[in-house]
């Protein structure tokens, strides 16, 4: 592999042991994947930082690399981690929480600026910027919507890229590898949750790059939900979307698609049914914020919740239920805090830097989950083995506060 | 008196993480998930026994992205294999081996290697010499 003089120096330990080791991993992985050179990245985003996922072995590694002098060489953020607060009074074990805090302390020392799965809502990359991001929804958003360039960095690779400011130049860092291979023609989808469409497209496209035509998103919220779900069933780091991906016209120019799918409401009905049939009994977690809410989404959602509470009178009933709104802590301004205060007595929590998916909800005695997120539903039902129901945000609010649900809208 | 017939086999390998080591070989004809298949406190692979200090020959790594951390943790406890030879390399396995300084190689002669392991080595303890510098794995 070709290395610049600076990179040679780093590999030879001129910038410390941790950087040398980190670069050695990146070079070896790059060589095995056929990369000719490295690429400078402007922003690394680390995933896999929940103690419940990476355990003692992961904690040990992160602490070791930081103690060996591993500090961020470029702007670095990380995914949210397990939720540390209680669910209806039930908490994770103190030992587990302490180990999670040790991971966060080590990452703070490394130089992680913030913890969220939507780094693109906090520091949006520019078109053409090279990144080393590891969170699937963020990678898809950066490539497909913003035109930035990032592979889905696996395991500790994003952390190693943070320390070196480099990753190997292969995959979608190369323009020729960003061209789509499978065509999805989307027909009219009246009132269907686009998250389910994301699941279907992800499953059909596998690791190939999809081109999605004729799909209209009413807001960025829908786009986020769609891509997050797509990332749960597919490995692709990019989806080319007509009218959304900045250079989609150039990327599809001259492509002859070997596979073509026409998708309508019918195609996703079977998915919706799976979630509908779950029976919801016991203590319920209502979850909004997978992926994390942007500032505008957060304010909008809290205002709607306050509206229901103020107009609901005696019909408000939240017994056996708690609502978590997960987001980035930097979005908590005075207005947000005032809105949250009005909701706190109704078991509503704004959970910052946390993620329900990487928590063990069964350990904190959650019996069922209602969420607007197809991604959250898909992972929680598998990882925590808890029944989940997917509802649009407004219906979720009605069901939470008033126990009213309009099933037609599903 | 019966003299046991001894053979010596050579297999070409492509080193990914360099190093020359010698040790008892263990053959696992499947993809391994280091999270789940392995008792990382003892260096014991489920249904296959101890892998510590052995030349571990297997198809490749599968599953969890925590794999590299487990390999790293094994090596800190001196419980890791002394080398890994696989049919397919993947980024996570390379990451684990570089971080732990475990020689790693792949081979285009997997068919030959697996028939040696399932034939000659199936009934006796074999010793392997991984010579990354020469691109060679010698099995005796």
3-state secondary structure chain A: CECCHHHHHHHCCCCCHHHHHHHHHHHHHHHHCCCCEEEECCEEEECCCCHHHHHHHHHHHHHHHHHCCCCCCCEEEECCEECCCCECCECCCHHHHHHHHHHHHHHHHHCCCCECCCHHHHCCCCCCCEEEECCHHHHHHHHHCCCCECCECCCCHHHHHHHHCEEECCHHHCHHHHCCCEEEEECCCCCCCHHHHHHHHHHHHCCCCEEEECCCCCCHHHHHHHHHHHHHHCCCCCCEECCCCCCHHHHHCCCCCCEEEEECHHHHHHHHHHHHCCCCCCCEEEEEEEEEECHHHHHHHHHHHHHHHHHHHHHCCCCCEEEEEEECHHHCCHHHHHHHHHHHHHCEEEEECEECCCCCCCCCCCCEEEECCHHHHHHHHHHCCCCEEECCHHHHHHHHHHCCCCHHHC
At A12-34, the pLDDT tens digits run 999 999 999 999 999 999 998 89
Which residue of chain B has the CA closest to A52? B66
**Of A53, A54, A157, Cβ closest to residue B95:** A157
Test B73 with A155 for CB contact under 8 angstroms: no
Residues of B with CB under 8 A from a CB of A: 16-17, 40, 65-70, 72-73, 76, 89, 91-92, 94-95, 98-99
Q: What value of ipTM does the predicted structure carry?
A: 0.82
Q: What percentage of chain A carries pLDDT values higher than 70? A: 97
| Interface with chain A: mutation pick from B35, B63, B65, highest number of A CBs within 10 Å | B65
Q: Which residues of A touch B69 (CB under 8 A)?
A: 54-55, 57-58, 60-61, 155-156
Q: Residues of B with catalytic annotation? A: 64
Distance from CA of A195 to the nearest CA of B (A): 24
**Of A56, A155, A160, Cβ closest to residue B67:** A155
At A66-98, the pLDDT tens digits run 999 999 999 999 999 999 999 999 999 999 999
At A252-308, the pLDDT tens digits run 999 999 899 999 888 887 777 555 555 678 999 999 999 999 999 999 999 999 999
Distance from CA of A272 to the nearest CA of B (A): 27
Rounded to two decimals, the pTM is 0.92
| Interface with chain B: mutation pick from A57, A135, A237, highest number of B CBs within 10 Å | A57
Distance from CA of B43 to the nearest CA of A (A): 13
Residue A198: pLDDT over 80: yes
């Amino acid at each position: 592999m070709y290395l610049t003089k600076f990179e040679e120096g780093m590999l030879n330990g001129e910038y410390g042991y941790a950087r040398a080791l980190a670069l050695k991993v990146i070079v070896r992985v790059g060589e095995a994947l056929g990369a000719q050179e490295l690429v400078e990245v402007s922003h690394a985003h680390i995933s896999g930082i929940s103690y419940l996922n990476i355990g003692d072995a992961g904690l040990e590694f992160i602490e070791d690399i930081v103690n060996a002098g591993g500090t961020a060489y470029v702007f670095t953020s990380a995914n949210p981690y397990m939720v540390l607060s209680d669910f209806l009074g039930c908490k994770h074990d103190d030992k587990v929480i302490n180990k999670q805090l040790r991971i966060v302390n080590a990452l703070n020392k490394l130089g992680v600026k913030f913890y969220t799965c939507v780094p693109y809502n906090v520091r949006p990359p520019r078109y053409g910027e090279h990144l080393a991001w590891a969170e699937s929804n963020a990678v898809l958003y950066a490539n497909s919507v913003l035109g930035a360039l990032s592979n889905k960095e696996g395991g500790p690779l994003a952390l190693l890229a943070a320390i070196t400011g480099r990753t190997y130049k292969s995959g979608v860092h190369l323009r020729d590898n960003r061209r789509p291979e499978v065509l999805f023609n989307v027909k009219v989808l009246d009132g269907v949750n686009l998250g389910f469409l994301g699941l279907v497209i992800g499953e059909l496209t596998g690791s190939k790059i999809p081109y999605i035509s004729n799909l209209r998103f009413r807001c960025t919220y829908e786009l986020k939900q769609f891509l997050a779900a797509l990332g749960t069933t597919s490995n692709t780091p990019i989806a080319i979307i007509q009218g959304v991906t900045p250079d989609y016209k150039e990327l599809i120019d001259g492509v002859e698609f070997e596979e073509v799918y026409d998708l309508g409401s019918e195609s996703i009905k079977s998915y919706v049914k799976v979630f509908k049939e779950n029976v919801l009994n016991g203590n319920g977690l209502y979850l909004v914020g997978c992926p994390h809410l942007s500032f505008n989404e957060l304010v909008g959602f809290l205002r709607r919740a306050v509206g229901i509470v103020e107009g609901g009178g005696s019909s408000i009933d939240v017994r056996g239920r708690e609502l978590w709104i997960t987001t980035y802590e930097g979005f908590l301004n005075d207005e947000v805090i005032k809105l949250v205060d009005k909701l706190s007595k109704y078991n509503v929590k704004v959970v910052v830097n946390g993620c329900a998916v990487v928590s063990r909800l069964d350990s904190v005695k959650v019996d069922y989950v209602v969420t607007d997120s197809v991604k959250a539903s898909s992972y929680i039902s598998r990882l925590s083995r808890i029944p989940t129901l997917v509802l649009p945000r407004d219906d979720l609010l009605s069901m939470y506060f008033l126990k009213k649900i309009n099933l037609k809208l599903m | 008196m019966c003299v046991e017939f001894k053979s010596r086999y050579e297999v070409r390998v492509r080193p990914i993480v360099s190093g020359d080591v010698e040790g008892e070989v263990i053959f696992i004809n499947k993809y391994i998930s280091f999270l789940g298949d392995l008792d990382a406190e003892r260096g014991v692979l489920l249904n296959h026994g101890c892998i510590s200090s052995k030349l571990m020959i297997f198809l490749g790594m599968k599953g969890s992205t925590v794999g590299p951390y487990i390999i790293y943790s094994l090596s800190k406890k001196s419980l890791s294999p002394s080398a890994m030879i696989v049919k397919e390399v993947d980024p996570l396995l390379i990451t684990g081996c570089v971080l732990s300084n475990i020689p790693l190689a792949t081979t285009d002669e997997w068919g030959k290697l697996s028939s040696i392991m399932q034939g000659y080595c199936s009934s006796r303890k074999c010793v392997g010499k991984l010579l990354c510098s020469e691109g060679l794995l010698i099995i005796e």
